A and B are shown apart, each in its own frame.
Chain A
Amino acid sequence: MNALTELLFSPFVEFAFMRKALAGSVSVAFAAGPLGVFLILRRISLMGDAMAHAILPGVAVGFLVAGLSLWVMALGGVITGLLVAFLAGLVSRFTPLREDASFAAFHLVSLGLGVLLVSLRGSNMDLIHVLFGSVLGLDDAALLLVTATATVTLLSLALIFRALVAECLDPGFLRAEQGSGSLSYLVFLFLLVLTLVAGFQVLGTLMVVGIMMLPAAAARFWVRSVGQQMVFAGLSGALASYAGLLVSFYANVPASAAIILSAGLFYFLSLGLGPQGGLLQVVRQARARRAHMAAIPD
């Protein structure tokens, strides 16, 4: 028993960088999971991806201007993230291109631009840092940014929750009731950009989407209502972060990859075993139906 507790907790007791990594990745998971639930329910899962890439050029410009300065890079990311959300919204409103397709176009361009900009001045190491994060190298400033962002995101989400659910459930109803619709959705997009910018410090722009979408996708196999799914996604994402850090510590593998793979493993488990439409349940129900039909005489 003692050996087990030692195995599970000693890395975090012994090493400050592991404690910081845990605090940072758990904060990101708590904020990202609930946002991911809404992305999935609105069928705009790809938007998370697109936004994550969209912040890259801004981060890169920040990097060019001020080097590895946390705040300048974050500010740049927020600016380009919002800009791309705005432009993609415009394109889908005024042209026949659907929102997801116009996001896809913008995020591919952003990714190319971002990688180019980073490599203009930085080394490959810097590029790797931006793309895959540096969860094991979080300093106090980065940790502050990440936890503050998560706090703001969760509080804001609580404030707009009722309007956001109403907006997603029945946009026409809300328009008829209050004359205008999508303010809550705009706030939501802003929180999305904010969380992705904070998350890229920890997991990198490529991986941060994983901690957003995988726990959210898993949640729908366990609980039904949107509120339950948000709580579940946050908690399971935090658990995956913890498990991933442990694996990374003992197996000596990259931490962000281990965290995303833990979340992925949990997703596949949910897909199979989840009581709300998981594969095992579907098979069992089909068998019960067949048995029921067979029991009815012709």
Chain B
Amino acid sequence: MTDSAIELDQVSLGWRDRIAVRDVTGVFRRGSLTALVGPNGAGKSTLIKGIMGQLSPVRGTIRFAHDIVNQIACLPQVGELDKTFPVTVYDLVALGAWRRTGWWRRFGRSEHARVQHALETVGLADFGRRIIGTLSGGQLQRALFARLMMHDAQVLILDEPFAAVDRDTTDDLMRLLQQWHSEGRTVVAVLHDLDLVREQFPQAVLLGGQVVAWGDTATVLTSENLHLARHLCAGDYL
């Protein structure tokens, strides 16, 4: 039990009569680096919404290690971020301190140092004063990673963090994921690039409306499993 960060027991998620993903049972271990893969419509984003508590399970339970409950941060796939809103990159990143600062608490020197450090880490050290509307897609994604860093969370969940991002940015941000992994944080990322998953992620979960396979990446991403997942979704794209 102490080894697991998040446990799912027979979890089914969906909306009323339409179940997107059923009977998910499995464990995200503490400090694991897991890729969540599967065809379109396999229920990846739904599962993440369930873990984040934005969607209650229709059946089953999701349990968190008790010291982790308030230690989960998420980078959603399609955020509701208004890119035209005139705030600086610094302010966007500083928003990540919300749980510590809330509505009124002072944004002190230590928070300022955190923002600077996060900006440097994602390669945006000189971009703090820029308005977010002037950033490219890749730069904005870097800024959102910096905001995620501000949480200083033990569990990080990312939904397609590298969609619509150039190669250099993917490399840099992947290095950041590896760094979080080496710091002992639990990382779960939804990905489409199977080569990247094989190269970088020790663990993988393959979904197809249900769990097709869960475990070491090499044993999960076999051609039979991938074929099965595709078949289960009746999708034609992986």
Q: Tell me the A residues contacting B by CB distance below 8 Å.
A: 41, 159-160, 162-163, 165-166, 168-178, 184, 220, 224-226, 229
Contacts and interface: CB of A to CB of B under 8 A. Distances in A.
Contacts of A160: 103
B85 A41 contact: yes
A195 B98 CA distance: 29
B74 interface: yes
Contacts of A168: 82, 85
Nearest to B103: A163
Contact of B81 (A165, A170, A178, A229): A170
A166 B79 contact: no
Contact of A162 (B82, B88, B104): B104
A172 B76 contact: yes
Contacts of B92: 169
B85 A169 contact: yes
B80 A176 contact: no
B81 A176 contact: no
Nearest to A161: B103
B27 interface: no
Given A177-B98, A178-B98, 11 more contacts: A162-B101, A162-B104, A165-B85, A169-B92, A171-B80, A173-B79, A175-B54, A177-B99, A178-B102, A224-B86, A226-B85
B233 interface: no
Given A163-B103, A225-B131, A170 B82 contact: yes
Contacts of A159: 103-104
Residue from the set A41, A165, A174, A176 with the largest chain B CB neighbour count within 10 Å: A176
Interface in B100-125: 101-104
A226 B54 CA distance: 30
B52 A224 contact: no
Interface residues of B, number: 22
A224 B131 contact: yes
Contact of B86 (A41, A174, A176, A178): A41
Contacts of A165: 85, 87, 91
B98 A166 contact: yes
Contacts of A226: 85-87
B165 interface: no
A217 to B, nearest CB: 14
A12 B2 CA distance: 76
A175 B49 CA distance: 13
Contacts of B79: 170, 172-173
Nearest to A170: B81
Nearest to A165: B87
B82 A169 contact: yes
Contacts of A169: 81-82, 85, 87, 92, 95
Nearest to A174: B98
Contacts of A174: 98
B102 to A, nearest CB: 8
Contacts of A41: 85-86
A159 B103 CA distance: 8
Nearest to B78: A172
Contacts of A170: 79-82, 95
Contact of B88 (A166, A173, A225): A225
Interface in B45-103: 52, 54, 74, 76, 79-82, 85-88, 91-92, 95, 98-99, 101-103
B86 A225 contact: yes
Contacts of A178: 98, 102
